[in-house]
Amino acid sequence: MSSKLPQEIPGMQLNNYSPKSVLPQPTVESKNKIDKTKKNLEKLKNYILKKYKFIQSLSVLPPQAIPMLIKEEEVPKETEKYTHLYMIVPEAEFKNIKKISAEIIKKVDDMKIDEKIWLQVKTPVDVWENCMDSKFDLTAAIAMSYPLYDTGFLAGLRVAEIHKSLVLQKFEKYVVSYVLGGSIVRGEMVETSDVDVAIIINDTDVKQMPRLELKERLRGIIFKYIGEAEALAGVKNKLSPQIWLLTDFWEGVKDAQPVYFTSIRDGVPLYDRGTFLPWKALLRMGKLKPSPEAIDMFMAMGDKTQERAKRALLDIFVQDIFWGVTTPAQALLMLSGLPPPNAKKELVRDFKKNFLDTKMIEKKYITFLEKVVKIWRDYEHNIVKEISGKEIDVLLKDMVDYQKRIKDLRKEIEKKTEKETINKLYDNAFSLLKNITGKKSQVAIIESFEKDFVKTGKFTVQHSHMLDTIIGAKEASKKGKTTFKKANDARKQSALLINDLIEYAQRCDLALADRSKMTISYKIKDESQIAELFNYENKSFLVRGSSVVKITNKVSPSSVVEITEAVEEQKEKENISIKPKIFELVKEEIGEFEIIL
Q: How many whole angstroms separate alpha carbon 111 and alpha carbon 106?
A: 9
- For 347-370, write each residue's pLDDT tens digit: 889 989 988 888 889 999 999 999
What pLDDT is attached to residue 37?
73
- For 425-460, write each residue's pLDDT tens digit: 888 888 888 877 878 888 888 888 888 888 888 888
pLDDT band at residue 188 using 50, 70 and 90 as cut-offs = confident
Of 299-308, 337-346, 471-480, 482-491, which range is least confident? 299-308
Of 106-115, 300-309, 582-591, which range is least confident? 300-309
Average model confidence (pLDDT) for the chain? Answer: 81
Q: Is the predicted pLDDT of residue 2 greater than 50, yes or no?
A: no
Helix (H, G, I), strand (E, B), or coil: what is residue 384?
A: coil
- Mean pLDDT across the stretch 218-225? 87
Contacts of 470 (CB under 8 A, 6+ apart): 422, 425, 426, 429, 490, 493, 494, 497
Report how far apart, in Å, the C-alpha atoms of 155 and of each of 10, 192, 194 are: 16, 10, 11
Q: Is the predicted pLDDT of residue 77 greater than 80, yes or no?
A: yes
More confident residue, 288 or 68: 68
What pLDDT is attached to residue 445?
86
Q: Is the predicted pLDDT of residue 6 greater than 60, yes or no?
A: no
Kindly write down the DSSP assignment for every residue of 140-163, as one continuous string. HHHHTSEEEEESSHHHHHHHHHHH
Q: Is the predicted pLDDT of residue 478 greater than 50, yes or no?
A: yes
Q: Is the predicted pLDDT of residue 156 greater than 50, yes or no?
A: yes
Q: Is the predicted pLDDT of residue 15 greater than 50, yes or no?
A: no
- For 405-418, write each residue's pLDDT tens digit: 999 998 888 777 77
Q: Which long-range contacts (CB under 8 A, 24 or more apart) does 64-73 make?
A: 64/11, 64/12, 64/13, 64/14, 64/141, 65/12, 65/14, 65/138, 65/141, 65/144, 65/145, 68/14, 68/137, 68/138, 68/141, 69/138, 69/141, 72/130, 72/135, 72/138, 73/120, 73/138
- For 507-547, write each residue's pLDDT tens digit: 766 665 666 778 888 888 888 888 888 888 778 888 887 78
Q: Could you give the residue range(s) of every CATH 3.30.460.10 domain in the chain?
A: 162-291
Evaluated on CA atoms 408, 409, 415, 421, the torsion sign reads: negative
Evaluated on CA atoms 395, 396, 401, 407, the torsion sign reads: positive
Q: What are the residue ranges of helices labelled H in 18-90? A: 28-51, 66-73
What does CATH list as the number for 162-291?
3.30.460.10
530 beta partners? 521
Q: How many whole angstroms separate alpha carbon 273 and alpha carbon 513?
A: 104
What pLDDT is attached to residue 565?
76
What pLDDT is attached to residue 54?
92
